[in-house]
Structure 1
């Protein structure tokens, strides 16, 4: 699921806001599968998603 989300973030038709909504949806899905692993998601996957979103939608 995270690989699919990365592909959608990198190449999909999502805008910045929808990209972050996708990240939150993936997080909720991951927490259903792995309860209590929110910190792991934040450490492992959020930075990966953030890098993709920031590369696609630079703030400057």
Structure 2
């Protein structure tokens, strides 16, 4: 099991929500809105890093507790970015699934 930092550099990049909006959406965002979106993205990245660290390092965490943390993190991510479920499923879901398989030897 490697470091999550190493995995991040090898895996897909962190969530980037500014790469796909239509051009007219980008032009309508004010500097304050862009700053707020970047703040939310950073908050999401930190949350997901913390969830993955706890699951990977807490020896007393049961598989049910870890699964609940994963479900809670998904709900929180979609609450912050309701229209970005596909992005979550592409970037974070595979990482969390792999971590759960490795940590709990799930097939």
Which structure 1 segments of 5+ residues have no match? none
Q: Which structure would you say has the larger RCO, counting Cα contacts within 8 Å and 6 or more residues apart?
A: 1
Distance in 1 of aligned mates of 2:61 and 2:96: 13
Residue 39 of structure 1 corresponds to which residue in structure 2? 86
CA drift of 1:38 comes to: 1.1
- Whether 1:10 and 2:56 are equivalent positions in the alignment is yes
Which structure 2 segments of 5+ residues have no match? 1-46
Larger radius of gyration: 2
Query: Which 4+ stretches in 1 moved above 6 angstroms?
Result: none
TM-score (norm 2): 0.52
Equivalences, count: 60
Query: Higher helix proportion, which one?
Result: 1
Alignment deviations for residues 29-53 of structure 1 (CA, whole Å, 9 cap, x no partner): 1111111111111111011011111
TM-score (norm 1): 0.88
Cα root mean square deviation, aligned: 1.3
